[in-house]
Amino acid sequence: MLLKKIETRSAHAGVIGLGYVGLSLVVAIADAGFKVTGIDINPEKIERLKRGISDVPDVPDAVLGPLIKSGQIQVTTDYSVLSQLDTVNICVPTPLNENRTPDMQFITAAVEQIAQHLHSEQLVILESTTYPGTTEEIVLPTLQPNSSETTLENDSNTKPPSLSPDSTESLQVGRDFYLAFSPERIEPGNSTYFMTNTPKIVGGVTPKCTQVAKTFYEQFINKTYTVSSPRIAEMTKLLENTFRSVNIGLINEVALICDRMDLNVWEIIDAAATKPFGFMPFYPGPGLGGHCIPIDPHYLSWQALNYNYHARFIELASEINSSMPNYVLDKVIHALNLHRKPLNGSNLLILGVAYKKDIGDTRESPAFEVIRLMLDKGAHILYHDPHVSNIVLGEGGTYHSQTLTSALIESVDCVVILTDHSAIDYDLIVKHAAVIVDTRNATRTVQNELDKIIKI
């Protein structure tokens, strides 16, 4: 019955968590013709969404508004709607605790709500990035308390007559309800690859679970790729982002070595990238940012310890990446020293606080740690970011993005480029700045006054 409802797009879909991933998913499902209900615990966000106002830059109001107005998309804080849904995607945050271990509270809370309303012929898919084993060790036992006593490979459609199909305790995975893991692969600001044209990995708890989840995604994703289990799918996502973290850590260390040798690491990378095979360019920077790459390797190394394995290589890369804000601070101190100025009391202009170019996403942005280090040393901070109008820096209060003018640039002792936004006029920066620390090679096309520029 569920497969037919999915294939005819008459199924009522639901998404828990309406952030970057969840809201994008809601719109993609609705665009395919499904009725979708989005659930979020933030009442202010829900009220904005009901007015067609999006918090996600990749989901414009012009796209969201009509879908809300038509009723194709509904949003709520009320989890009781889960009892009406045929499919439920979990897209909640998976941050780290203060000791850098997985914080599973949002997944646990969402799954507990689903368990209260779970019914037969319902599909549940976890999309939140997590460690291998989460779907089968945390999600499944909550949805099916007796799961450890059953065989996951059981795909029989025959229900024991003594059990009520609507009793949560009687529902069996692969027979009465379906459970899978499918990692989100959204990259904010990417105009080439987005939700529908990025292949979707799907791993179900049973083969029938995989089939049902795959069929669901095929309604709005161009290509799906099935794997043998949720654990494989969970590990796939961690590999993707750990691969990037490790390679960025490598190139950051190469940048530190090149600095000692007085070599231009950017020129070296460009030269190496001319090799048509065996080399993939990665670039140094002030540190890692975003909702995945700084976080995911810690999930993997934490789970590896549970198998008595110390992931030294992965952790070393994270240490190098985490050290880059201190390296940037040293570069700023050096730049000021060239002008006989101390960091304490100097006026600094930060260009870019988003974690990458041309977006307004500041999650885990290394800019915040760089700024904190500068403030701790007594510097005075101004910032400009065309995509981020204000930031809050702990006890330092709220800072507002300054209008970028020649007068502003001339008024500061040093300009520090932390994000290479395309909208910034770097020729203007170089022309009017006393000295520049460029952590992104943003000034690579500038031809004049190169002696002002210090790169990492």
**Between these two residues, 395 and 271, which has the higher pLDDT value?**
271
pLDDT digits (tens, 9 = 90+) for 214-253: 999 999 999 999 999 999 999 999 999 999 999 999 999 9
Question: Minimum mean pLDDT among 99-103, 361-365, 394-398: which range?
Answer: 394-398
Average pLDDT over residues 397-417: 97
Task: Decide the pairing of beta strands 177-181 and 200-204.
Answer: antiparallel
Residue of 4, 71, 8 whose CA lies nearest to 38: 71
The reported pTM is 0.91
Res 94 pLDDT > 50 = yes
CB 24 within 8 A of CB 195: yes
Report pLDDT for 163. Answer: 36
CB 241 within 8 A of CB 293: yes
CB 387 within 8 A of CB 421: yes
Average pLDDT over residues 413-437: 98
Give the whole-angstrom CA distance, residue 288 versus residue 437: 18
Report pLDDT for 158. Answer: 40
Residue carrying structure tokens 């999930």: 299
> Which class for 46: exposed (0-12), middle (13-18), buried (19 or more C-beta within 10 A)?
middle
Q: Which residues are catalytic?
A: 292
The answer for 318, left when phi > 0, alpha when psi is -120 to 50, beta otherwise, is alpha
Which residue ranges make up each domain of the chain?
Answer: 2-228, 244-455
Residue of 40, 10, 44, 47 whose CA lies nearest to 25: 40
Res 437 pLDDT > 50 = yes
Report pLDDT for 148. Answer: 63
Res 341 pLDDT > 90 = yes
Report pLDDT for 188. Answer: 87
- The radius of gyration computed from the CA coordinates of the chain, to the nearest angstrom, equals 25
CB 186 within 8 A of CB 21: yes
Average pLDDT over residues 367-388: 97
pLDDT digits (tens, 9 = 90+) for 262-286: 999 999 999 999 999 999 999 999 9
Say whether 400 sits in a helix, a strand or coil: strand
Give the whole-angstrom CA distance, residue 17 versus residue 21: 8
**Distance of alpha carbon 453 from the chain centroid:** 32
Q: What percent of the chain has pLDDT over 90?
A: 91
Report pLDDT for 168. Answer: 55
> Which class for 261: exposed (0-12), middle (13-18), buried (19 or more C-beta within 10 A)?
exposed
Same fold, 2-228 and 244-455: yes
Average pLDDT over residues 407-436: 98
pLDDT, the chain, mean: 94
Phi then psi dihedrals of residue 368, to 5 deg = -70, -40
Tell me which of 3.40.50.720, 3.40.50.620, 3.30.70.20, 1.20.1050.10 is the CATH number of domain 244-455. Answer: 3.40.50.720
Confidence of residue 151 (pLDDT cuts 50, 70, 90): very low
| Torsion sign (Cα): 111, 114, 119, 124 | negative
Average pLDDT over residues 432-439: 98
Report pLDDT for 265. Answer: 98
Tell me which of 3.40.50.300, 3.90.550.10, 3.40.50.720, 3.30.200.20 is the CATH number of domain 2-228. Answer: 3.40.50.720
Report pLDDT for 155. Answer: 52
Question: Minimum mean pLDDT among 143-152, 235-244, 350-359: which range?
Answer: 143-152
pLDDT digits (tens, 9 = 90+) for 154-191: 554 444 333 344 455 689 999 999 999 999 999 988 88
Phi then psi dihedrals of residue 286, to 5 deg = -80, 0
Average pLDDT over residues 383-400: 91
Cα–Cα distances in angstroms (integers) from residue 108 to residues 25, 316, 325, in the given order: 21, 30, 34
The answer for 207, left when phi > 0, alpha when psi is -120 to 50, beta otherwise, is alpha
Report pLDDT for 167. Answer: 52
Give the whole-angstrom CA distance, residue 336 versus residue 25: 47
Report pLDDT for 170. Answer: 83
